[in-house]
Amino acid sequence: MVSPFLPEAEKLAAVRDALPATAAGIYLNTGTAGPLPRETAAAMAEVAEWELTTGRAHVSLLPETLERMAEARAAVAAILTSDIDTVALTHSTTDGMNIGTWGIDWRAGDRAVTSSLEHPGGVGPLYVARDRFGVDLAIVDVGDGGDDDRTLTAFEAAITPGTRLVSISHVAWSTGAVLPVARIAELAHARGALVVVDGAQSAGAIPVDPDAIGADVYAIPGQKWLLGPEGMGALWVRPEALDRVRRTFAGYFSFETADGRGTGLPWPSARRFEGTNYHRPSVVGFARSCGWLSMYVGLDWAYARAARLARRSADLLAAIPGVELLTPRHQMATLVSFRIAGWTPDQALDELGRRVFAIARTLPAVNALRISVGFFNTDEEIERFCAAVAELAAHTPETLPRHRALPLLGQDAG
Ligand SMILES: Cc1ncc(COP(=O)(O)O)c(C=O)c1O
C-alpha cells in the first residue's frame, strides 16, 4: 500500500504500482487526463457490478447515492483546503465555468474580461454570452502569461466600472504559466466584478486555496491532476458569493425541499448548483481518487515532487539547441510547452511516440508540444524524453536516422 511515510524510492515504486498506466509508457499528458489509481478503478467496478446485479432501483440506492455524493464533496474540499459547504459536484471544468459565467443575469453592454490564454472550456461560455446578449467581451493580451506587471496593467485597464465578470485560468493550458489570480481578483473586486477561475490545470497539480486567491467561483475537473474518472468535476463557490451567482440549472439535487406546486427551497450551500443527475460509479471513483491522493500519497509530497520534476524538464529542454521553451520558468506549474526548430508539433509527437512512447500532446493553437509532469513520473523518464527531443532537435524530419530508435522503457538497451 502507498503510505506517506515510506522512503522516497519505495514510495515512488508503490505509487507507480498503484497507477498501472505509468507502466504503459512515459505518461506525460495528465493535463488531458491522468492515470487512474488501481483502487479507483476497482471501486468503480464494484459499484457498476452492484448496479448490474442488483439493479438501479433498490430502496437503498438514493440514500446511498446522497452519502457517496457527500463523500465526494468532502474529498474535494480537503484538496481545496475548504469547507464542505463550498463545494458542488459537476461533470467537468467546462460545466463549472458555464455555471459561473451564467451566474450573471447578462444585459446588453455589460462587460466581461478574460485573458488571451483561456481554454474553450472557460472562454466558450463568454462567447455565447457575447453572441446571445451583446456582452462586451474584453480579451486581454497577456503574452505567454509570464510577466505579471504586463498582465496586471492590462487587466487594470480592461476592468472598467461596468465590468460584471472576470474569468481567468489559474494555470494557462497552453504556456503553463501560473497567472496572478489573487491580484487580478483584487482589481476585479474593487470594481464590483465577480471572479470566476478555471482550475483545470491547477487542482491536484499545485496547492490550491480558492479563498486565499480571491476567487468567487473556482471550477475543477476530476479526470486530470486529481486522477479521477471522466465525467466528474467540482465547483467551489465563496459563501458570500452564493446569492450573487444566479442559478441557471436546477433539479432534484439542487433543492433542500421542492414540490410540484411552486415551492423550491435551494440548498443554503454550494449544493444548489448541482442541477443534473450523476453516474454513481464515477461519483465513487472521483471521491476515491481524491482520497487516495490526499490520504495515501500526501498532497505536499505530490506537489513538491511534481514541481521539481517539471522544473527539471523545463531546464533540460531549454538547454537543447533548437528547442524553444514557451513556458515561463519563473512562474510555472506542471505543464511544459516547447517547439523544436524544423519540426511541426505533429511530426515531433509522432517521432517521439516511436522512440519513447511518450504520452504527450500537441497544442495547435500555439504550434507547440506540451508535456504534463506528474509526481508519479521518474527522473529517468524525464531524461529519456528529453534525450529523444535532443535527438530530434539535432536533425530535421528528413535527416533523422531511421534505425536508431531508442528502446522502450523497461526494455534492454541492446
Ligand atoms: C485550462 C482548461 N480549462 C478547461 C479544460 C476543459 O476541461 P474539462 O474537460 O474538465 O471541461 C481544460 C482541458 O481540457 C483546460 O486545460
Q: What is the DSSP string of 146-204?
A: --HHHHHHHHHHH--TTEEEEEEESB-TTT-BBP-HHHHHHHHHHTT-EEEEE-TTTBT
Ligand 1 within 6 A of 218 CB?
Answer: no
**C-alpha cell read off for 101:** 459565467
> What is the rounded average pLDDT for all residues in the chain?
94
87-90 and 361-363 beta bridge pairing: unpaired
Question: What share of the chain in percent tops pLDDT 90?
Answer: 89
Which of the four pLDDT bands, split at 50, 70 and 90, describes residue 413? very low
Ligand 1 within 6 A of 198 CB?
Answer: yes
Q: Is residue 221 predicted with pLDDT exceeding 60?
A: yes
Between CA 142 and CA 145, with CA 144 as vertex, the angle to 5 degrees is 55
**pTM, whole model, 2 decimals?**
0.95
Cell 513538491 appears where? 304
**What span, in angstroms and rounded, lies between the C-alpha atoms of 210 and 155?**
20
**pLDDT recorded at residue 353:** 85
User: Bigger pLDDT: 212 or 356?
Assistant: 212
DSSP string, 63-120: HHHHHHHHHHHHHHHHHTT--GGGEEEES-HHHHHHHHHTTS---TT-EEEEETT--H
Ligand 1 within 6 A of 176 CB?
Answer: no
**pLDDT recorded at residue 1:** 59
**What span, in angstroms and rounded, lies between the C-alpha atoms of 69 and 230?**
16
Q: Is residue 355 predicted with pLDDT exceeding 80?
A: no
Mean pLDDT of 57-72: 94
**pLDDT recorded at residue 4:** 60
**What span, in angstroms and rounded, lies between the C-alpha atoms of 162 and 279?**
40
Q: 3-class SS at 206?
A: strand
Ligand 1 within 6 A of 123 CB?
Answer: no
Residue 279's nearest CA partner among 222, 224, 199, 219 is 222
Q: 3-class SS at 333?
A: coil
Mean pLDDT of 61-88: 97
**What span, in angstroms and rounded, lies between the C-alpha atoms of 366 and 363?**
6
Which of the four pLDDT bands, split at 50, 70 and 90, describes residue 362? confident
Ligand 1, atom 14: nearest CA belongs to which residue?
32
Q: Which of 90, 94, 168, 227 gets mutated to test ligand 1 (max ligand atoms within 8 A of its CB)?
A: 94
For residue range 171-185, list pLDDT tens digits in order: 999 999 999 999 999
**pLDDT recorded at residue 37:** 98
22 Cβ contact list (under 8 Å, min separation 6): 16, 35, 376, 377
Give the highest mean pLDDT range of 236-250, 343-357, 395-409. 236-250
Q: Which of 93, 95, 170, 196 gets mutated to test ligand 1 (max ligand atoms within 8 A of its CB)?
A: 93
For residue range 275-330, list pLDDT tens digits in order: 999 999 999 999 999 999 999 999 999 999 999 999 999 999 999 999 999 999 99
Q: Is residue 410 predicted with pLDDT exceeding 80?
A: no
**pLDDT recorded at residue 356:** 77
**pLDDT recorded at residue 81:** 97
Domains 8-30+298-393 and 44-295 fall in the same CATH topology:
no
Q: Which of 89, 173, 227, 372 gets mutated to test ligand 1 (max ligand atoms within 8 A of its CB)?
A: 173
**What span, in angstroms and rounded, lies between the C-alpha atoms of 282 and 228?**
8
Rounded to 10°, the helix 148-158/181-190 angle is 20
**How far does the centroid of ligand 1 lie from the alpha carbon of residue 93, in Å?**
6
**What span, in angstroms and rounded, lies between the C-alpha atoms of 273 and 390?**
48
Mean pLDDT of 206-212: 98
Residue 396 burial by Cβ neighbours in a 10 Å radius (0-12, 13-18, 19+): middle
Ligand 1, atom 4: nearest CA belongs to which residue?
121
**C-alpha cell read off for 30:** 495528465
**pLDDT recorded at residue 94:** 98
**How far does the centroid of ligand 1 lie from the alpha carbon of residue 119, in Å?**
7
279 secondary structure, DSSP code: -
**pLDDT recorded at residue 400:** 87
CATH class of the structural domain 44-295: alpha beta
**C-alpha cell read off for 220:** 475543477
CATH class of the structural domain 8-30+298-393: alpha beta
For residue range 235-260, list pLDDT tens digits in order: 999 999 999 999 999 999 999 999 98
Ligand 1, atom 6: nearest CA belongs to which residue?
121
Ligand 1 within 6 A of 233 CB?
Answer: yes
Q: Is residue 404 predicted with pLDDT exceeding 80?
A: no
Where exactly are the structural domains of the chain? 8-30+298-393, 44-295
Residue 377's nearest CA partner among 5, 2, 29 is 29
For residue range 112-163, list pLDDT tens digits in order: 999 999 999 999 999 999 999 999 999 999 999 999 999 999 999 999 999 9
Mean pLDDT of 334-361: 90
Which of the four pLDDT bands, split at 50, 70 and 90, describes residue 411? very low
Which of the four pLDDT bands, split at 50, 70 and 90, describes residue 412? very low
User: Bigger pLDDT: 293 or 408?
Assistant: 293
**What are the Cα distances from residue 169, in Å, to 62, 199, 244, 390?**
36, 6, 21, 31
